[in-house]
Structure 1
Amino acid sequence: MEKSSLLLYGANGYTGQLIVDICHEYGVVPILAARREEAIRPLADRIGTQYRVVDLSDQEGLRRALADVKVVLHAAGPFKFTARPMIEACLATHTHYLDITGEIEVFELAKQYDAAARKAGVMLLPGAGFDVVPTDCLALYLKKQLPDATHLKLAFETVGGGLSHGTASTMVEGLGKGGAVRENGKIVTKNLGHKSLWIEINGRRRFFMTIPWGDVSTACHTTGIPNIETYTGISPRVHSLLRFQGLYNWLLGSDLVKKIAKNRVDKISGPTEAMRQLASSTVWGEVTNASADRRTAHLTCPEGYTLTAHSSLIIAKKVLAGNFKVGYQTPASAYGEDLVLEVPGVERVGECRGWL
């Protein structure tokens, strides 16, 4: 059977619905899927497409749902719970796998299936959204400017916007786990915000602190650079408080605190369209080599959810057209450093300064 379709799992979620809303811009009519019919049927009826109801715990049902599907775009997190069953179903049905995760452990999980994916002739590409398309593409761009780079710093900041329920749920699952960096090729646990950085971009100095962003995993695969730190914009005052989080991780990771946090997350619906239109994001990167040579660059982008909707569909359409690399891939390893420039509103611009 010739496979030609895209299945969007988790289409009823916040980001899933954003993807559905712009599918027509890319000439894609996806099959929508979720675990509850009442959640997915109205959305499918609205755009006039098929829908399928299947729970991720039902491996046999998943395989039936994917039997005629060429590409899965998986948008139902937290992916630490949902990625494995979908990946395994995709391998069994020879279906390409995309998702929008930013979780280090999910990238590391997907990497373990590289040999199986090559044998099945499919691509596994997690991180097809804001996590990690812009940072991954910037990392490769900088690597090409300084091929012998040994250290990479990546930072991002969003002005305006807000969190979706799915993003907030993933953050709750990470409570009490601290941060991570890559040192000499290995992922190492660190306290959240153990380092900070002032960066000047377009004449404005901004403060950033280290967080465990997905590029701690993916950028090494993309560039081969063995030392990687990832940062997010934050106020210096909040950073001064978070530096002591290591003392309280035992409490933050407790079932009680997570239960309280999840109750609050249930009230989050995500930023409105007006909020997203007014918001924007900046991604900055720096590479250095053993001789202290240095290159920097940055991207100006739409806010994260808008970028995710576009970038995930841009990648999905490429795969549908037969443009893919088998095995585990990152966005830039599959499609190069200019992939992010295909997203409306993204611009790659010049040098900027950073200080420890």
Structure 2
Amino acid sequence: MLDQAFLLYGANGYTGELIARYAAAYGLQPILAGRNKQALEQLGAELKLPVRVFALDDKIAMQQALQEVPVVVNAAGPYDFTAKQLVEACIAEGRHYLDLNGDAIIYDMIHTYDKAAKDSGVMLLPGAGYDVVPTDCLALWLKQQMPDARSLKIAFAVLNSSLSRGTAINTVLKLGLPGLSRIDGKLVEEPVGKRGMYVQFPGMKKKLFTMSLPWGDLSTAYVSTGIPNIETYINMNKAAWFFLKGQGAYNWLLKTKLVRGIANAIVKRQSPGPDKATRDKTNTLIWAQVSNENGNTLTANMVVPEAYTLTALAALLITRKVLNKEFTPGYQTPATAYGTELIMEIPGVQRGLVQ
């Protein structure tokens, strides 16, 4: 077993490939894994990295691959189809599990393996990327300054970039499904875009309109802070938001195989994701606010690198920590495992309170 090696499942995907390309800068050696033999071998030859080809239903091949490494980074979405299998395999083999998931339901599912992971002495840390490393750290940072906070709102602004093909496909799979918020400690279904608000993001001359959308923080921020009421938002054209207000009339159509098939075909014709030039010139903006029962509020802003670049850097940073035996067994969020300053270890991050 190599000290600085880890298994990167889904290495041939857009984000997986970014992680593979950045790994050397962190002194790490990924073993490229997944189902696409041709793509993996091509990337492995270019980067001079080992390759393992297997599907997650091939339990023997998966077991053999896991025995080579202490840590698995799951970059193969949609995580509805990959997280459970890899989590269970990692616990059985005594290997740590990280992923790049952003779905609150998947986080809660992985959380149910907390005791099994502790018994096995391994850490399960989903959300080791853009969602949710910066926001999880920011949420806990605010909670520490307002210990009696009862409500948390988090808003993202992603400007001048685009979705990766994998993220877009996952979005297609969610078409027509309800959104979520956390109310009094429980995840509650609600229409996507039920709420809208204008947010003053850092560095912007005017406020941007945002709408409610379920992000992973609905799960992770609750674990990290204990705040019982959480809402998450993303910047959105207000006209598109008004269109979504009528979604109840056509959600049934969005869930049909025909519509999802058409959307999936369109996505697969698009580019894999934003190119390097786009990533290098783009930042992601984050706004967060906590409030207590007395109506007092505390607001913070954060500027981080472009979402996919941040994901690669954060995943590698956490992987390196785990390989250096910095981990806490059981289910963890980025902030419960490494504290509020984890995000500040990534170059280019700015954080501050709004006066």
Structure 2 length-normalised TM:
0.96
Secondary structure of the residue aligned to 2:82 is helix
- Does residue 306 (structure 1) correspond to residue 309 (structure 2)? The answer is yes
Distance in 2 of aligned mates of 1:37 and 1:137: 37
Q: Tell me if the contact between 1:162 and 1:270 (Cα under 8 Å) persists in the aligned partners.
A: yes
Show the counterpart of 2:256: 254
Secondary structure of the residue aligned to 1:78 is coil
Quote the RMSD (CA, aligned, Å): 1.3
Deviations 1:21-60 (A, max 9, x none): 1111111111111113212112112222211111011122
- Does residue 174 (structure 1) correspond to residue 174 (structure 2)? The answer is yes
Deviation at 1:239, TM superposition (A): 1.0
Show the counterpart of 1:239: 241
Deviation at 1:2, TM superposition (A): 8.0
Q: Tell me if the contact between 2:151 and 2:229 (Cα under 8 Å) persists in the aligned partners.
A: yes
Alignment of 1:1-356 (within 5 A): 5-201=5-201, 202=203, 203-268=205-270, 269-351=272-354
The one-letter code of the counterpart of 1:303 is E
What is the count of residue pairs matched by the alignment?
352
Structure 1 length-normalised TM:
0.96
Q: Tell me if the contact between 1:52 and 1:65 (Cα under 8 Å) persists in the aligned partners.
A: yes
Deviation at 1:261, TM superposition (A): 0.9
Q: Tell me if the contact between 1:137 and 1:331 (Cα under 8 Å) persists in the aligned partners.
A: yes
Distance in 1 of aligned mates of 2:304 and 2:7: 27
**Which sits farther off after the overlay, 180-189 or 61-70?**
61-70
Q: Tell me if the contact between 2:2 and 2:69 (Cα under 8 Å) persists in the aligned partners.
A: no
Q: Which runs of 5+ in 1 are unaligned?
A: none
Deviation at 1:90, TM superposition (A): 0.5
The one-letter code of the counterpart of 2:309 is T
Q: Tell me if the contact between 1:117 and 1:327 (Cα under 8 Å) persists in the aligned partners.
A: yes
Deviation at 1:4, TM superposition (A): 5.2
Q: Tell me if the contact between 1:178 and 1:246 (Cα under 8 Å) persists in the aligned partners.
A: no
Q: Tell me if the contact between 2:4 and 2:27 (Cα under 8 Å) persists in the aligned partners.
A: no
Distance in 2 of aligned mates of 1:18 and 1:61: 25
The one-letter code of the counterpart of 2:135 is T
The one-letter code of the counterpart of 2:107 is F
Distance in 2 of aligned mates of 1:135 and 1:177: 24
Q: Tell me if the contact between 2:4 and 2:320 (Cα under 8 Å) persists in the aligned partners.
A: no
Q: Tell me if the contact between 1:124 and 1:327 (Cα under 8 Å) persists in the aligned partners.
A: yes
Misfit runs of 4+, over 4 Å: 1-4
Distance in 1 of aligned mates of 2:13 and 2:77: 9
Distance in 1 of aligned mates of 2:36 and 2:21: 20
Distance in 2 of aligned mates of 1:100 and 1:137: 16
Q: Tell me if the contact between 1:182 and 1:226 (Cα under 8 Å) persists in the aligned partners.
A: yes
Distance in 1 of aligned mates of 2:246 and 2:265: 25
**Which sits farther off after the overlay, 61-70 or 186-195?**
61-70
Q: Which runs of 5+ in 2 are unaligned?
A: none
